[in-house]
Amino acid sequence: MPGKADVLKQVRAALEHEPRINLHRYPVSIDLDRDGTLMLEGDAANIAAKKLALELGASIPGVSGIVDRLRVGPTEAMGDGAIRDHIRNALLQDSALEGCGISVRVKDQMETCRESSAKPPACIEVSVNDGVVTLNGQVSSLSHKRLAGLMAWWVPGSRDVINGLEVVPPEDDTDDEITNAVRAALEKDPFVNPDRMRVSTRNCVVTLDGFALNQKEKEMAEIDAWYIFAVDKVVNPTLLAGSANPALAEAVAGALELRLGRRALERFPDGELHVELQETVRGHDVYVIQPTGPPVDEHLMALLFLADACRRAGAANLTAVVPYLGYARQDRRATGRESVAARLIADLIRTGGFRRLVAVDLHSPVLEGFFGIPLEHLSAVPILAQAVSPLMPADGVIVAPDLGAVKLAERYAKLLHLPMAIVHKTRISGEQVQVRGVVGEVRGRSPIIVDDMISTGATIEAALKALLAAGSGPEAVVVSSHALLVGAAVERLGALPLRRLIVTDSVAVAARLPLPLQVVSLGALLAEAIKRLHEGRSLNDLIAHG
């Protein structure tokens, strides 16, 4: 059992780590009694900060209960009588509560404003003390209980709402009930247009997504959700596009029916990068979409700068969505005097503030062990295999252009129900390879060469020449997750007898290349992964296995 000092230290550390609480501006008194009951007393910036402080405090080992004396700073100075009158009028005027009796406490006496006409009788009793609203009595449904609490919170002078209304007969609370209550709140709020907003709830955690007309409306919608009784957390996803592939980021946002967050990336005359967020991300789950393709260093720095800007602006969680991860090939020392760049990049991404990384078809699965944060390794193989299927000849053969692509080729072969062959090559330099032989039957067959990436095209060129020398069919289909196409790649591939070159848009591909190019978008795959991460659902069927 941790001691009192240790518990209080952990509580304070947890509150300080949450940017929405801001202990420097809103100090909180913390104490713990012998029974493990934690007392939190002081002001909170808003309802979100109050609820988060209570949740964080309750999560610390050694805390058995909480005394809540946190008060929200009022948006307008109001006396208790004015607060009481505002709530009374709101309750009387709402048609959903027209059968409910309303009473208010005035100078220690309860005054009846309307008798109950409901069966069984329902009555809401309102009292206000130093800005703290207490609701007692009984109502016929959870929706009425939540509506009354919302009305109390909407009064500008309210500093806290203690909702003690009893539901008679009792109802089981569910995530659907909470979702419906949040939707109703958004529809009632005159400052919010809910037409393009979506609400979902999982384990009392509300997710808001869709479109808001402006930043103020977005913030109002979030606060409305926090006001709802039994809501433990409100998460709001924000997508930010880096500079590497804005078209892919737009595709992901479109699939999620979200707009991209506003940000500015510009360079000073001396070449320094400057990054600035142009809207709030405080308390949001932020997903930064930035593949680190050529020029790798520029795109990597933009990714890290965006992370730093979000972290300093109070983002709750940061996820790097990096469809193509640069430096992934430098995962070991071949001579003993080289840097292991992939490990350094992994450390930079973690240190930059990201809590999770989403990548697609990494060059080697060993990279997952380099990261000190969770890595979601997605696979584009199923959607690429689907694109290959209409072109697949009956005499096709899946070909791994080198030993490193064997596992990848096995996955394609299994999905397409085709035999497999392997080209044994040795890399001489970054642009030169030497083929030593072909393993497997390729004579008279139409090759489908698969690889995780095409850089200079030298591996594909050498493999296809070896296949032709071994008697394969005259045309080949080439499939790759990442089309870097650097150096002489376009000229090299253009000189080959390719029927089709199928790639994804993990990196931006130039338009009108003199190649039989087919680009398959990762937008839907990445959008589905982001949606599931945001909702806490499994990614198992999207993950690259093996």
pLDDT score of 316: 87
The C-alpha atoms of residue 232 and residue 218 are separated, in whole angstroms, by 19
Quickly name the fold that domain 381-520 has: Rossmann fold (3.40.50)
- Domain 4-72 and domain 175-235, same fold? Reply is no
Question: Comparing C-alpha atoms, which of 329, 311, 261, 319 is closest to residue 486?
Answer: 329
DSSP state of 20: T
DSSP state of 192: -
**Which positions ≥6 away from 348 have C-beta within 8 Å?**
300, 304
pLDDT score of 428: 56
Label each residue of 9-47 as H, E or C. Answer: HHHHHHHHHCCCCCCCCCCEEEEECCCCEEEEEEEECCH
Quickly name the fold that domain 175-235 has: Alpha-Beta Plaits (3.30.70)
Question: Comparing C-alpha atoms, which of 308, 267, 270 is closest to residue 286?
Answer: 308
- Token pair, residue 378, equals 């997605």
β-strands 263-267, 273-277 pairing: antiparallel
The helix/strand/coil state of 372 is coil
pLDDT score of 388: 96
Active-site amino acid positions: 425
Q: Which residues of the chain have pLDDT under 70?
A: 1, 426-433, 546
Determine how many CB atoms are found less than 10 A away from the CB of residue 343: 17
pLDDT score of 515: 96
pLDDT score of 433: 64
Angle formed at CA 205 by CA 202 and CA 211, multiple of 5 degrees: 95
Angle formed at CA 467 by CA 428 and CA 455, multiple of 5 degrees: 45
Determine how many CB atoms are found less than 10 A away from the CB of residue 380: 26
Mean residue pLDDT of the chain comes to 93
Spell out the domain ranges in the chain. Answer: 4-72, 80-167, 175-235, 237-378, 381-520
CB 280 within 8 A of CB 324: no
The C-alpha atoms of residue 546 and residue 537 are separated, in whole angstroms, by 21
Q: Could you name the CATH architecture of 237-378?
A: 3-Layer(aba) Sandwich (3.40)
pLDDT score of 126: 97
What secondary structure does DSSP assign to 426-442, as a single string? Answer: EE-SSS-EEEEEEES--
The structure tokens 């930079």 sit at 348
pLDDT score of 452: 96
**Which positions ≥6 away from 269 have C-beta within 8 Å?**
none
Class of domain 4-72: alpha beta
Question: Comparing C-alpha atoms, which of 244, 249, 353 is closest to residue 296?
Answer: 244
- Token pair, residue 267, equals 């360079």
The helix/strand/coil state of 49 is helix
Distance, CA of 208 to chain centre = 12
DSSP state of 543: B
